Amino acid sequence: MTTKLDQSHDSQPPMTTEEVTRLKNRKADAKLQAGLAETLHSQMPAMEEFDGRVYPKGSEAIAISGISASRQAIEAGTEAFIPDHVDVEFTARLEPRSLRRPKFIERNDFMRGEIGVKTIFGVDNRKVFYSTAYPWRCVGKVESPIGSGSGVMIGPRHLLTCSHIIDWRPNNTTGWLKFTPMYYNGSSPYGSAWAIRTYYKHKVSGPTIDSTEIKFDYVVVVLDRPMGNATGWMGSKSYSDSWDGGAYWTHAGYPGDLTGGQRPTYQTGIALDGDFWSPDSHESMSHKGDVWPGQSGGAFWGYWDNSPYAVAVQSAHNPSDNLASGGSDLVDLVIKARAEFP
């Protein structure tokens, strides 16, 4: 059954940035389950041979048309999970001075020939962070044959990222995809996981993204192991245009310019503006957050009742705006993937 859904009516907005900064951090009140870390690190990915070489195995691609979940389920979204064994910090710890490195790419020199193109507007507000506290530990680096991007844990073994990082192949398959939560300069505190299923609404392939693709540039990937038991995960909510202009949102990812995709950055106080010609079920959202290739797939999240909920992922840019992608269809993918492969 397909549900038609338009959430253009007013919905409860997330907490303001000021409200979030006043929240109190919390210390873990339990220890990590015995053997979990060793299991996550030691499990090897499934492999396949192609043309005489051995590669990590790709995933099954599962198309979801329309909205399959009920109106009530979509409006409720999916819940965040904070494990008892993790600290909770609402402001990310910055990387220590001893670990700081020079900028990998001088952005202005690199783009000198592209007249009018900007992805950083005014002062660059991204900060490199170094934290294994929740929710920052849910953020991670995504790698595939296409390149590298960003993503976030959205379920027990479920990754939210962009569609254009997926190596789409024939016969409902994809190339391999690797996710490493809180990757930092080669460090992987929770190990890495590999895709076995990829739920999508639209196959988006770069290097350009058209006006339809920008509304559906997200996927939910089922991983081969339950990374979320170690990291926790964020919830998901459907974006409402009634939130346009509110500087509620945090974004995190692995930019190629500042850190060469080796260390994560974050920015708070970002405002999104949903396109007025599309329903809230699937739409692009313009913003002036600071981004660079490598941050694609990184979530935009806000806080409701002290917990983080993703509403969109970084997708693209044009000469005047950066663009995120989200809507009720994003939540529908999360619900479907978590129900069929818990």
Q: Which tens digits make up the pLDDT trace of 164-205?
A: 999 999 999 999 999 999 999 999 999 999 999 999 999 999
**Rounded to whole angstroms, what are the CA distances from 251 to 85, 152, 279?**
24, 10, 23
326's tokens: 């989200």
- pLDDT digit string, tens, across residues 129-161: 999 999 999 999 999 999 999 999 999 999 999
Which percentage of the chain shows pLDDT scores above 90?
76
The full 3-state SS of 191-231, as one line of letters, equals CCEEEEEEEECCCCCCCCCCCCHHHCCCEEEEECCCCHHHH
Cα–Cα separations (whole angstroms), residue 45 to 59, 223, 281: 12, 10, 35
What number is the average pLDDT over the span 245-270?
Answer: 96
Q: List for the chain the helix, strand, coil content (%; round to 5).
A: 15, 30, 55
Query: What's the pLDDT score for residue 9?
Result: 45
Least confident among 5-19, 173-187, 257-271? 5-19
Residue 241 pLDDT > 80, yes or no? yes
| Residue 3 reports pLDDT greater than 70 | no
Q: What's the rounded mean pLDDT across residues 58-87?
A: 93
- What is the Cα gyration radius of the chain? 19
110 pLDDT exceeds 60? no
> What's the one-letter identity of residue 6?
D
User: pLDDT value at position 112?
Assistant: 54
pLDDT band at 228 (very low <50, low <70, confident <90, very high): very high
Structure tokens that stand for 50 in this block: 């192609």
Does residue 4 surpass a pLDDT of 50? no
3-state secondary structure of 60: strand
- Over residues 17-62, the pLDDT tens digits come to 999 999 999 999 998 888 888 888 888 999 999 889 999 999 999 9
pLDDT of residue 106: 65
Distance CA 191, CA 37 (A): 8
Q: What is the pLDDT of residue 10?
A: 55
Cis upstream peptide for 56 (omega within 30°): no
Distance CA 281, CA 332 (A): 9
Task: Give per-residue pLDDT as tens, 62-71.
Answer: 999 888 888 8
More confident residue, 251 or 10: 251
Mean pLDDT of 115-122: 68
Q: Is the per-residue pLDDT at 113 higher than 70?
A: no
Distance separating alpha carbons of residues 295 and 280, to the nearest angstrom: 23
